[in-house]
């Protein structure tokens, strides 16, 4: 079956630090990969996505590259801000099926001024 593994949190960084949140996956076929962000008290929002190998998704300064050879989709940002504090979820969908996305457990990111 499908599964997503994310690094455990919380991750605490200082403002302007470099961010990496690791994500690896197991899936049949060729899944689409996603990063979702959840701000306090809100639902999840799509941050970025990649639909095939070597694609790079990017949004709001965040980037992630679909690495088929290492089955990874690590999230990176060059200089984080306090407003980036949130929970980040890696997710996959294999084949656009009706049973939604498979999510990782989430990584809580805390940015200190």
* Residue ranges binding another protein (CB under 8 A): 32, 34, 41-46, 49, 51, 89, 93, 96-101, 103-106
Closest approach, Cβ 113 to another protein, in A, equals 26
Across-strand partners of 57?
Answer: 64
- The residue among 19, 21, 18, 20 whose CA lies nearest residue 105 is 21
Minimal distance in Å, beta carbon 6 to another protein?
8
- Measured between alpha carbons, how far apart are the two ends of the chain, in Å? 41
- Minimum CB separation of residue 98 from another protein in Å reads 5
Nearer to another protein, 3 or 14 (CB): 3
Partners of 23 in the β-ladder? 6
């Amino acid at each position: 079956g499908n599964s997503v593994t994310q690094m455990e949190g919380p991750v605490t960084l200082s403002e302007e630090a470099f961010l990496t949140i690791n994500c690896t996956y197991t899936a049949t076929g060729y899944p689409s990969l996603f990063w979702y962000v959840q701000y306090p008290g809100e639902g999840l929002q799509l941050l970025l996505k990649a639909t095939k190998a070597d694609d790079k998704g990017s949004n709001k300064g965040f980037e992630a590259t679909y690495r088929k050879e290492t089955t990874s989709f690590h999230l990176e940002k060059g200089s984080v801000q306090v407003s980036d504090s949130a929970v980040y979820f890696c997710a996959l969908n294999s084949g656009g099926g009706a049973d939604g996305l498979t999510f990782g457990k989430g990584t809580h990111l805390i940015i200190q001024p």
